[in-house]
Structure 1
Amino acid sequence: MAGPLTSPATVASDASTSPWPSLPDDLIRLLASRFLAGDLLDYLHFRAVCAPWRSSTASPRGRGVVEPRFHPRHWALLPEGHGLYPGHPKLHGYVRFFNLDTGAFVRVHIPLFDDHCVLDSYQGPLVLQRDHDTAIRLLHPFTGDILDLPPLSTLLPQMRQELQEVRPARLKLPWLRSVSTAATFADGVVTVLLAFCDLHRVAVATSQDHQWTMSTWHYAISSPPFPHQGKFYVVYVMRADHQAKIFRIDTPLPGEVLQPPKLIATTIADKLRGPIYFVECDSEVLVIGYGGFPFSKMPVYKLADLVMERNKGLLLRGYRGGWLRWPVNGKLRQGA
């Protein structure tokens, strides 16, 4: 296995006297790909070392949103707490991001929050709503790239029935701000799927559209929709027998029609019962629930195994017997 790469900052400090800037272009691109596969900020630091490295590698500016390889997947907006929402005057336009892998923090100046609010994030880019016209915008926090999508207000005429009892009219839009986001990226066109957690409906729009299209159907839900690789996964637990049905909602490609949820798996009630949640681990979707009553055991299944009806899961024992912690080198180990 190859050893760790030299830090870009270390190389930069010796760039004037070392042979690093004169590396062949193909080797520079190879090193850059290694940094980009690890973390976007390392890639940006790599490009900043010297002009030859910058000219030999692709700039993410202008492509930070539309090209997923430039997404800051490992970074999440950090809630400051104490009422200090993004755009609060005391923050002076700065927000902090937290690296989910390394625990590192970075402080970024984003004055856009003066007239935008954050609804969600997807693969790193933030999902914003502009105040004055309710336009939905995807913002790359590190490159400043912005992708514009139609206003949320274009959905109101399509939702007269659901919101007819909401008075006054200005209170209708808040019902649309509790969202979960999924998206696909193809040939420079971004298709965004919004799942409205309070209304149990979804809406779709592309970066070329002028309005959102609301689904004609509702989805059953027992926990918030879980986005993964351009899809939503939702679970509905049957009250009678505690059996759970797992559905998938696909983001349509440009020109395709939004399809209803597709049933992909049904859990066995005596092995996995609600409440049930999804998590991601190493690009796999895991399904976590309870293994019966009392709720002292927590089975963990790979979603792919449930779809293929391979009901082999990992068992987490409750606090009375300690926890089985997973994964450690691909194996379970007994917790203290």
Structure 2
Amino acid sequence: MLREPVAALNCNCHRHRFLNSSTGECVQVDIPELHDHKVLAPTAEGLLLLLHARKNVRLLNPLTGQLIKLPPLTTLLPKKYHHWLSARNHHFDADFTASGSGIADDDSTVVLCFYTLRMLGVAKPSDQSWTLLKFNDLLRTAPVMFAARFHCITLDGVMVLEMDPPRLVLAAKRHMWISLDGSAHLVDNGGELMLVHRKLLTGYRRGYDVYRVDLGTKTLFPVNSLGGGCALFMGMYCSLSVPIEGFPSGSISGDNIYLSFDVDERDGIEAYHLVDKSISPSAIF
């Protein structure tokens, strides 16, 4: 599901756009469930994790309307934090955005990640409660489901969620410094896991370093290309790599980073070119 500007999300519309990232085809779908549910996160499989009454979690197939119940949030949060789910919590929408959530490799386990709260929940539809994992991190990062496994970035490096029992283990050691005014973004680049380091240069200028995550050697390799045939759309909480041949000729170019509306420096920038690290200014500037 494509993210919409805040104004569109607040218009009480139940019609949303879904993009096939392989073909570039975009379809609109009516989702009546959004009348009384909040979208926690779209998954990489095209499903939606929904929340009803600030506690009831459900998994929706927006194309078929199938709705599957999952354990409530009250079984994930310790009791002393249940007041976070009350109507008086004005930070609810920011705290309970489940970026990087999705379906694990057994096709029956749901991974629910509240990264700003440093909480990760794992459950099957038949479970009575979520299995809670906590992690410490001071970095602004965007986790991702890659090859049906949850990956995130901590102070140690790229971490992967292992099951049985659920635990986070090191997938690739981080060797670059990520300051508090920077951020790190994981993205599935056509079956290859990439890390984009968004860093502050001089003044308000930003730079973007890209690394290939080698899960075999548990290392990060700097690269200046996405493979030539792909472009990257980067947001603060979700990034998407798409093949350019699925889009109208000339609309996007390979090895370019296009910034989402939630990235501060987007104004004035049309694209960032990875090969020579140059910037194409927006046409309105």
TM-score bucket of the superposed structures, by smaller chain: 0.5 to 0.7
For 1:326, the aligned partner's letter is D
Gaps of 5+ in 1: 1-75, 238-244, 317-323
| 3-state SS in 2 of match to 1:289 | strand
1:267 is the counterpart of 2:175: yes
Question: How far did 1:231 drift?
Answer: 2.8
- Which residue does the alignment assign to 2:67? 146
Aligned equivalent of 1:127, options 30, 49, 56: 49
- Residues 136, 151 of structure 1: 8 Å contact kept: yes
- Which residue does the alignment assign to 2:136? 219
Aligned equivalent of 1:301, options 211, 214, 222: 211
- Residues 305, 311 of structure 1: 8 Å contact kept: no
For 2:97, the aligned partner's letter is S
Larger Rg: 1
CA distance, structure 2, for counterparts of residue 79 and residue 291 of structure 1: 25
CA 185–169 in structure 1, closer or farther in 2 if over 3 Å, else same: same
Question: How far did 1:142 drift?
Answer: 1.3
User: Given the two structures, how large is their TM-score scaled by the length of structure 2?
Assistant: 0.63
- Residues 200, 221 of structure 1: 8 Å contact kept: no
- Measured on the aligned residues, the alpha-carbon RMSD in Å equals 3.8
Q: Number of residue pairs matched?
A: 226
CA distance, structure 2, for counterparts of residue 296 and residue 144 of structure 1: 42
CA distance, structure 1, for counterparts of residue 104 and residue 8 of structure 2: 33
CA distance, structure 2, for counterparts of residue 194 and residue 102 of structure 1: 28
Question: What does 1:1-336 correspond to in 2, within 5 Å?
Answer: 76-79=1-4, 81-85=6-10, 88=12, 91=13, 93-123=14-44, 124-131=46-53, 134-156=55-77, 158-160=78-80, 163=81, 169-171=86-88, 174=92, 177-180=96-99, 181-186=101-106, 190-215=108-133, 217-222=134-139, 223-236=141-154, 245-250=156-161, 252=163, 256-262=164-170, 264-268=172-176, 275-289=183-197, 298-304=208-214, 307-309=217-219, 311-314=221-224, 326=255
CA distance, structure 1, for counterparts of residue 162 and residue 118 of structure 2: 16
CA 296–77 in structure 1, closer or farther in 2 if over 3 Å, else same: closer
Question: How far did 1:212 drift?
Answer: 1.5
- Residues 198, 207 of structure 2: 8 Å contact kept: yes
CA distance, structure 1, for counterparts of residue 138 and residue 70 of structure 2: 26
CA distance, structure 2, for counterparts of residue 81 and residue 266 of structure 1: 34
CA distance, structure 1, for counterparts of residue 85 and residue 52 of structure 2: 21
Question: How far did 1:296 drift?
Answer: 7.2
| 3-state SS in 1 of match to 2:108 | strand
CA 102–168 in structure 1, closer or farther in 2 if over 3 Å, else same: closer
CA deviation vs aligned residue, 1:137-181 (integer Å, no higher than 9, x gap)? 11111122222211112234x252xx38x5894446937622121
CA deviation vs aligned residue, 1:103-155 (integer Å, no higher than 9, x gap)? 43322222222221111011210111123x73211111112222221111223
Return 115-124 or 222-231, whichever deviates more. Answer: 222-231
CA distance, structure 1, for counterparts of residue 183 and residue 57 of structure 2: 32
CA distance, structure 1, for counterparts of residue 123 and residue 192 of structure 2: 27
Structure with larger RCO (C-alpha < 8 A, sep 6+): 2
CA 246–307 in structure 1, closer or farther in 2 if over 3 Å, else same: farther
Gaps of 5+ in 2: 227-252, 257-273, 281-285
Structure in which a larger fraction of residues adopt helix: 1
- Residues 230, 251 of structure 1: 8 Å contact kept: no
Work out the percentage of aligned pairs sharing the same amino acid.
23
